[in-house]
Amino acid sequence: MAILSEYEEDQKSTKTSSSIPFNADFDPSNPLGFIETVFDFVARKSDLFRSDSVVRDVNALVRTAREKVVAEERERKRKEKTEKPPKEEPASTSEIVTEEKKDAAAVAAENEKTAEGKRAPNKGNGLDMDKYSWGQSLQEVTINIPVPPGTTSRFITFEIKPNHLKVGLKGQPPIIDGELFQSVKVEDCFWSLEDQKSISVLMTKQNQMNWWKSLVKGDPEIDTQKVEPETSKLSDLDSETRSTVEKLMFDQQQKSMGLPTSDELQKQDLLKQFMSQWPRVDPMAGCER
């Protein structure tokens, strides 16, 4: 709106009669919609977009506006730090104890996250990053990427390969661009725009028996020992995975009762079959009696 106002004032100062009125309502919840309206108006009423350098010029304009906003935010924070804080009343003993408990809990939580250079997973068994969050099950990986309200699908760039993911907005640096922790099934990977304010990505793992330590290689890793898998039915698993899980469950139950595991039972059965076929052979001595 500031650019349009300066444009109108400039037109008035030169007293030309070639100005074209422009009317549009600015909705703070849908800034990109307003920009689309402006671009459409300019495209219809001028030759601006016929220039080869228009993309570079518009990008430069956006960068300048963003740098101004960042500078103003930095200056505001600097002033807040330099301002003298108001005088506070002495805290009571109970308040001091409460604050100490909060500080101790915060320190403990931070230590848990940074132990051995790995972080505790979030509720989705992934990690909350600065620009996105991700979670996982043994079969799938999900990603949630916040975007400016009003973003439309044509502004989104999405590229996926078995071992690489790139997601972002057109004209801006990628939000995610890196080698995946493990490979995925590209034909079973999808993305969608949720309520014009976040990008949702679902990827199917190639190896569905391992937990990912990070979304892309080089990112902070989670402690997979602290992952909490969701409860699922054996019928939901494929036959190979189900048989493996059933075997592990059986062996665990046998060990808790002091009984032989499935492998040990199989060895005992083989020994019985051998003895029935060769009753005169001592399997321990390896010779006839």
Q: What is the DSSP letter of 92?
A: P
Question: Is position 24 within any domain?
Answer: no
- The residue among 154 and 277 whose pLDDT is bigger is 154
CATH classification at residue 182? 2.60.40.790
Question: Is position 247 within any domain?
Answer: yes
Question: Is position 196 within any domain?
Answer: yes
Does 158 lie in the same domain as 137? yes
Q: What is the structure's pLDDT at 1?
A: 42
Question: Is position 267 within any domain?
Answer: no
Does 226 lie in the same domain as 126? yes
Q: What is the per-residue pLDDT across 246-288, written as a single tens digit (0 to 9) for each?
A: 788 788 788 878 888 888 888 888 888 878 887 776 666 554 4
Does 244 lie in the same domain as 222? no
Residue 81 has pLDDT above 80, yes or no: no
Does 249 lie in the same domain as 222? no
Q: What is the per-residue pLDDT across 177-195, written as a single tens digit (0 to 9) for each?
A: 999 999 999 999 999 999 9
The b/e string for 119-130 (b: 16+ C-beta within 10 A; e otherwise) is bebeebbbbebe
Residue 128 has pLDDT above 50, yes or no: yes
pLDDT band for position 46 (50/70/90)?
A: confident
For the record, the structure tokens of 67 come out as 């740098």
Does 221 lie in the same domain as 180? yes
Sheet containing 156-161: which strands, arranged edge to edge?
156-161, 164-169, 176-179
Residue 5 has pLDDT above 50, yes or no: no
Q: Which domain holds residue 240?
A: 233-262
pLDDT band for position 219 (50/70/90)?
A: very high
pLDDT band for position 106 (50/70/90)?
A: low
Sheet containing 140-146: which strands, arranged edge to edge?
127-128, 133-136, 140-146, 198-204, 190-194
Q: What is the structure's pLDDT at 4?
A: 45
Residue 239 has pLDDT above 70, yes or no: yes
**Structural domain tally of the chain?**
3
Q: What is the structure's pLDDT at 118?
A: 85
Residue 230 has pLDDT above 90, yes or no: no
Question: Is position 180 within any domain?
Answer: yes
Does 134 lie in the same domain as 217? yes
Residue 143 has pLDDT above 90, yes or no: yes
Residue 97 has pLDDT above 60, yes or no: no
For the record, the structure tokens of 167 come out as 């997601």
H or E segment to which residue 182 belongs: none
Q: 251: which residues sit within 8 A by CB, 6+ positions away?
A: 261, 262, 263
Question: Is position 148 within any domain?
Answer: yes
Task: Report d(CA 57, CA 22) in Å as an integer.
Answer: 22
Amino acid at 109: A
- Mean pLDDT, residues 4-17 taken together: 47
Does 200 lie in the same domain as 134? yes
Question: Inter-axis angle of helices 239-256 and 262-277, to 10 degrees?
Answer: 90
